[in-house]
C-alpha cells in the first residue's frame, strides 16, 4: 500500500484539468507569461486557444516562441496582444504587421522587469517535470526568464510533463511555488536547425579564424551562427557561456572540442539558460 506524504497530498489537491485552471484564474485585462522555446506548455496553449474568444484586453509576454502560439494569430487581434522579447519565425509576421510588439532588451535584464514591477505578471503558464520525492520539479530544457516569472506572477499554472527531463543546475522549483498543476504528457517542441547555405558557410569560414583555441564562446541561433558552430570542429578546449544550447554544441562536446578547461569561471562546465 502506497502512503502519501504531506507534500504529495497538497500536490494532488492542486491538480486540475487545463480548462478548469484557465476558467478559474484567467481574467479580462490580465498579463500572461508563456514559457520559452522548447519549454512552451503546448497543452495549456491549445486550451488557451479554445477560450480566447471569451476574453478581452489580454496581453501575453514571451521570449522565444517555437510552437503553438495562438496569440499571434490574426483572428485574435481584437482579443489580445503579444509583447515578445525575441522575434522568431512564429511571431515575425505578427510583429511586422503591427499585431504584436517587439521589446528589444538584454535577456539578463528581463528578470528585473518582472521582479521590480515594470512588467507585472498576473498569470504564468509554464511546463515542468513531475516532482521528485522531495516535491521539486525541474524546468528542464528551458530555464532562462521562467524562474523570474514564477517568482513574480500572481498565479502560476504548470503543465506537468513526463517528457520534460530533469536537468541539473538552477532548474528546480518546489511544488509549493506553483498554484495549479495540469498533468499532460506529450513530446516537447523541437527546434529544427536551419539548412546550411553557401553564403553562411563562407561567412563562417571568416568568423572561425577569429576564434582561438581555449576561447569561451557565446553563439546565438540562426543559419549563420549554426554554420559557425559546425565549422569549429578543429578547435581545441573551447568553453561555452551562452543563453542557449543546440545540437551543434552537442556534436562539439562529443568531438572533444568543447571541454571548458580554459574557462576562468565554471571551469569544465557549459553554462546556458535554454
User: For residues 71 and 200, what is the distance between their CA atoms, to the nearest angstrom?
Assistant: 32
Strands 136-138 and 123-128: unpaired
Please give the average per-residue pLDDT across 132-160, as a whole number: 92
pTM: 0.84
* Grid cell listed for 34: 508563456
pLDDT band at 138 (very low <50, low <70, confident <90, very high): very high
Q: Could you list the active site residues? A: 243
User: For residues 204 and 198, what is the distance between their CA atoms, to the nearest angstrom?
Assistant: 10
pLDDT band at 1 (very low <50, low <70, confident <90, very high): very low
Q: What angle do CA 38, 40, 42 make, to 5 degrees?
A: 115
Decide if 6-183 and 193-274 have a common fold: no
Q: Which fold has domain 193-274?
A: Transcription Regulator spoIIAA (3.30.750)
For a pLDDT cut of 70, what percent of the chain falls above it? 93
State residue 173's pLDDT score. Answer: 92
Q: Which fold has domain 6-183?
A: Glutaconate Coenzyme A-transferase (3.40.1080)
State how far Cα 110 lies from the chain centre.
13
Least confident of 90-99, 142-151, 231-240: 90-99
User: For residues 127 and 136, what is the distance between their CA atoms, to the nearest angstrom?
Assistant: 13
What is the DSSP secondary structure assignment for residue 156, as one 8-state letter? E
Burial of 36 (0-12, 13-18, 19+ CB in 10 A): buried
The string of DSSP codes covering 87-147 is --TTTHHHHHTTSEEE----GGGHHHHHHTTSS--SEEEEEEPPP-TTSEEE-TT--TTHH
* 195/14: higher pLDDT: 14
State residue 69's pLDDT score. Answer: 65
* 121/239: higher pLDDT: 121
Please give the average per-residue pLDDT across 130-155, as a whole number: 91
Q: How many CA atoms lie within 13 A of 194 on its CB side?
A: 16
Q: What is the pLDDT of residues 36-68, one digit of tens each?
A: 888 899 999 989 888 888 888 888 888 877 766
To the nearest whole number, what is the mean pLDDT of the chain?
Answer: 83
User: For residues 67 and 39, what is the distance between their CA atoms, to the nearest angstrom?
Assistant: 9
Domain edges within the chain: 6-183, 193-274
Amino acid at each position: 500500500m502506497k502512503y502519501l506524504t504531506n507534500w504529495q497530498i497538497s500536490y494532488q489537491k492542486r491538480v486540475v484539468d487545463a480548462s478548469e485552471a484557465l476558467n478559474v484564474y484567467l481574467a479580462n485585462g490580465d498579463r500572461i507569461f508563456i514559457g520559452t522555446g522548447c519549454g512552451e506548455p503546448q497543452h495549456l496553449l491549445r486550451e488557451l486557444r479554445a477560450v480566447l474568444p471569451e476574453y478581452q484586453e489580454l496581453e501575453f509576454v514571451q521570449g522565444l516562441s517555437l510552437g503553438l502560439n495562438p496569440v499571434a494569430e490574426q483572428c485574435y487581434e481584437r482579443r489580445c496582444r503579444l509583447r515578445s522579447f525575441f522575434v522568431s519565425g512564429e511571431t515575425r509576421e505578427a510583429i511586422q504587421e503591427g499585431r504584436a510588439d517587439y521589446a528589444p532588451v538584454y535577456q539578463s535584464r528581463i528578470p528585473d522587469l518582472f521582479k521590480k514591477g515594470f512588467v507585472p505578471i498576473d498569470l504564468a503558464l509554464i511546463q515542468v517535470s513531475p516532482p521528485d520525492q522531495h516535491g521539486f520539479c525541474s524546468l528542464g530544457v528551458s530555464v532562462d526568464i521562467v524562474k523570474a516569472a514564477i517568482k513574480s506572477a500572481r498565479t502560476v499554472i504548470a503543465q506537468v510533463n513526463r517528457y520534460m527531463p530533469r536537468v541539473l543546475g538552477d532548474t528546480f522549483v518546489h511544488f509549493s511555488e506553483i498554484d495549479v498543476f495540469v498533468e499532460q504528457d506529450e513530446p516537447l517542441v523541437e527546434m529544427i536547425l536551419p539548412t546550411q547555405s553557401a553564403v553562411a558557410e563562407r561567412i563562417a569560414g571568416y568568423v572561425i579564424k577569429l576564434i582561438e583555441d581555449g576561447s569561451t564562446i557565446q553563439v546565438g541561433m540562426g543559419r549563420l551562427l549554426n554554420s559557425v558552430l559546425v565549422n569549429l570542429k578543429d578547435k581545441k578546449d573551447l568553453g561555452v557561456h551562452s543563453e542557449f544550447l543546440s545540437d551543434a554544441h552537442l556534436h562539439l562536446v562529443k568531438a572533444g572540442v568543447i571541454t571548458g578547461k580554459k574557462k576562468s569561471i565554471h571551469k569544465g562546465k557549459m553554462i546556458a539558460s535554454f
